């Protein structure tokens, strides 16, 4: 039975992923603020260390897969927390659990990114600040930006970190595949929070989705399960857009 850790497992996409993997026969180690195997706050360095220690104890030092799903939406008023959870809460867990993934010999990890990373405004100084790893500077910078800028910037930084890291000897060379899912609007509590926001609500409703409507958390879970499976052993460093065709509509000339 494979051991798979899932952050943000108590609700939304994370809960759907955890349920899907459990149905597929995995031992799921959930990480969240509540209702999880490991209770930890990924917005703080101390909480991330607690999460790493908790997962390590639960998997006995051998982890077959990790899904970094926990995140805060752009409507959250604490913009610094958005950056801390969405970038550092994922990147530091991946780095911290790398040795446990390597112990599995053939392991895989998936991060939940966003199609907002390819939209105007995602590129900002916040991206490079995240990649440089100074959380104090990132949090200070986030306080001066809008929630959408911080959300997209943190997700873009995480995706760029993954793309740079995936092909290295420490990851691909050690038998660990890193991939990302760039999700579009999906019916979750996070999306509902955005829809109820005075500014972001109308913007989300006007967001073009060629297939019509919003996705379901199970749509993302199905792709994550596939990326973690042995059927995708040759997929590494890729970003899969699961957004009803929005990215293709907006950036049809790029791939």
Q: Would residue 87 show up in a list of annotated catalytic residues for this protein?
A: no
Tokens of 138: 């990132």
Which of 87, 151, 200, 214 is an active site residue?
151
CB atoms within 10 A of CB 235: 16
CB atoms within 10 A of CB 126: 25
For CA atoms 33, 36, 42, 45, the dihedral sign is: positive
HEC per residue, the chain: CCEEEEECCCCHHHHHHHHHHHHCCCEEEEEECCCCCEECCCCCHHHHHHHHHHHHHHHCCCCCEEEECCCCCCCCCCHHHHHHHHHHHHHHHHHHCHHHHHCCCCEEEEEEEEHHHHCCCCCCHHHHHHHHCCHHHHHHHHCCCCHHHHHHHHHHHHHHHHHHHCCCCCCHHHCEEEEEEEECCECCHHHHHHHCCCCHHHHHHCCCCCCCCCECHHHHHHHHHHHHCHHHCCCCCCEEEECCCHHHHHCCCCC
For 51, phi and psi rounded to 5 degrees? Answer: -65, -45
- Residues designated as active site: 151
């Amino acid at each position: 039975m494979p051991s798979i850790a899932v952050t943000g497992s108590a609700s939304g996409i994370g809960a759907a992923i955890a349920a899907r993997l459990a149905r597929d026969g995995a031992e799921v180690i959930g990480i969240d603020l509540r209702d999880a195997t490991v209770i930890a706050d990924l917005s703080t360095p101390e909480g991330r260390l607690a999460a790493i220690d908790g997962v390590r104890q639960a998997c006995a030092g051998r982890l077959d897969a990790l899904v970094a799903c926990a995140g805060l939406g752009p409507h959250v008023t604490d913009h610094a927390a958005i950056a801390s959870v969405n970038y550092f809460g994922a990147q530091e867990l991946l780095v911290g659990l790398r040795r446990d993934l390597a112990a599995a010999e053939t392991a895989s990890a998936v991060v939940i990114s966003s199609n907002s990373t390819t939209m105007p405004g995602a590129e900002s100084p916040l991206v490079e600040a995240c990649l440089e790893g100074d959380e104090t500077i990132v949090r200070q910078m986030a306080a001066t930006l809008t929630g959408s800028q911080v959300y997209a910037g943190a997700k873009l930084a995480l995706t760029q970190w993954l793309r740079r890291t995936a092909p290295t000897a420490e990851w691909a060379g050690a038998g660990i595949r890193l991939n990302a899912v760039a999700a579009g609007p999906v019916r979750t509590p996070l999306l509902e929070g955005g829809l109820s926001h005075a500014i972001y609500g109308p913007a989300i409703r006007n967001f073009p989705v060629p297939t019509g409507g919003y996705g379901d958390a199970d749509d993302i879970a199905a792709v994550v399960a596939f990326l973690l499976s042995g059927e995708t052993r040759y997929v590494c460093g890729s970003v899969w857009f699961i957004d009803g065709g929005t990215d293709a509509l907006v950036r049809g000339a790029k791939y």
